[in-house]
A and B are shown apart, each in its own frame.
Chain A
Amino acid sequence: MRRFGSAAFGWCVATLPLAALAATEAADEMVEVDAQHAEGMPQLDPDTFASQIFWLVVFFALLYWLVSRKILPAIEQILETRRRRIADDLDRAAALRAEAEEAYTRYESGLADAHAAAQARLAEVRERVQTEQAERQAKLDADLAARAKEAQQRIRAAREQALAGIDSVAVEAARAATSRLIGVDVGEDEARRAMQAVRGEAA
């Protein structure tokens, strides 16, 4: 279509010299008519028509050539380059944005993971401390119980020993008392039996 546009334009330009020729002829015919108002507008002086048309065609064609070969390609190229550059920049910005978003989600999930790991470790330590403490407590309890039992045994033994000591003192005292009071010498075994009997009653 572009080619046709140029062709149509070219055709019209090509016919212009003919038009100029016709204008000149018309001008020749009108010369007498025009001579009467030569003082009129110079725009209406047909003598200048041919030259003006000729140079118009020349310079218009020159400008057309410059525009279509030099000016428009230069402008269109820089506009296209700029458009592409802007599109590229926008694309890159979009890519960077996606990257940033991904990094952010990665960071967030990493953070969550670390959080969970820390929590788990904390729970584990707490549990271990608790069991250790329980164990130590149990050992301490057992130790204390054993020591208490031992002490009790020692107390009992001491008491028995003491009691035994008291028995022999009492027997001695009883024999001495008996012999002093009633002059009967009581045997040691007898005195002991008697005392044990008395104590059993008392108990």
Chain B
Amino acid sequence: MSEDDRKPDFGAFDARMARLKAAETGSDGKAGPEGEPKAATHAGLHIGIELVAGVIGGALLGYFLDAWLDTGPLWLIVMLVLGSAAGMLNAHRYIKRLDRERSDKSGTPKAG
């Protein structure tokens, strides 16, 4: 019966306590999903759809504007061009987001 036998080990207890406390507050904050598994085909399809949606959106907008204003193919052409550009813009944004998420995953997690 040495002195050490009777000495309670608060160190181990405190460490466990701190871990549990951290887990408790952690679950309340960020419990985000692991992130979608972005296979190359998925990203490619996403970009393609953004581009096509731009063209479709532009065409529809131009078609209805022409029908409304009776301006022949003028707005259809303008809106097709602008819609394609908008589709590219959205695709560009998606790629930027993809890049950001990828660098976030490899680097430090983003704060907010």
A and B touch in their complex, CB below 8 angstroms: yes
List residues of chain A with CB under 8 Å of any chain B CB: 83, 86-87, 90, 93-94, 97, 100-101, 104
Closest 6 CB pairs of A and B: A104-B8, A86-B24, A90-B20, A97-B13, A90-B21, A100-B8
Do A94 and B8 have beta carbons less than 8 Å apart?
no
* CA gap between A86 and B22 in the complex, in Å: 12
- Give chain B residues whose Cβ lies under 8 Å from the Cβ of A97: 10, 13-14, 17
- Indicate whether B28 reaches chain A with its CB closer than 8 angstroms: yes
* CA gap between A86 and B13 in the complex, in Å: 16
Which of B13, B14, B21, B24 is close to A83, meaning CB atoms less than 8 Å apart?
A: B24
**B95: shortest Cβ distance to chain A, in Å?**
29
Do A94 and B28 have beta carbons less than 8 Å apart?
no
**B88: shortest Cβ distance to chain A, in Å?**
26
* CA gap between A87 and B20 in the complex, in Å: 9
- Give chain A residues whose Cβ lies under 8 Å from the Cβ of B17: 90, 93-94, 97
A-B pairs under 8 A by CB, number: 22
B contact patch SS = helix
Do A83 and B28 have beta carbons less than 8 Å apart?
yes
**B2: shortest Cβ distance to chain A, in Å?**
14
**Can you list 16 pairs linking A and B with CB atoms under 8 Å apart?**
A83-B27, A83-B28, A86-B20, A86-B24, A90-B17, A90-B20, A90-B21, A90-B24, A94-B17, A97-B10, A97-B13, A97-B14, A100-B8, A101-B8, A101-B10, A104-B8
Interface range, B side: 10 to 19
Nearest-neighbor residue (CB-CB) of A97 within chain B: B13
- Give chain A residues whose Cβ lies under 8 Å from the Cβ of B24: 83, 86-87, 90
Nearest-neighbor residue (CB-CB) of B27 within chain A: A83
- Give chain A residues whose Cβ lies under 8 Å from the Cβ of B10: 97, 100-101
* CA gap between A83 and B24 in the complex, in Å: 7
Apart from A83-B28, A97-B13, 8 more pairs, CB < 8 Å: A86-B24, A90-B17, A93-B17, A94-B17, A97-B14, A100-B10, A101-B10, A104-B7
Nearest-neighbor residue (CB-CB) of B13 within chain A: A97
- Give chain A residues whose Cβ lies under 8 Å from the Cβ of B14: 97
- Give chain A residues whose Cβ lies under 8 Å from the Cβ of B28: 83
- Give chain A residues whose Cβ lies under 8 Å from the Cβ of B27: 83
- Give chain B residues whose Cβ lies under 8 Å from the Cβ of A90: 17, 20-21, 24
* CA gap between A86 and B17 in the complex, in Å: 12
- Give chain B residues whose Cβ lies under 8 Å from the Cβ of A83: 24, 27-28
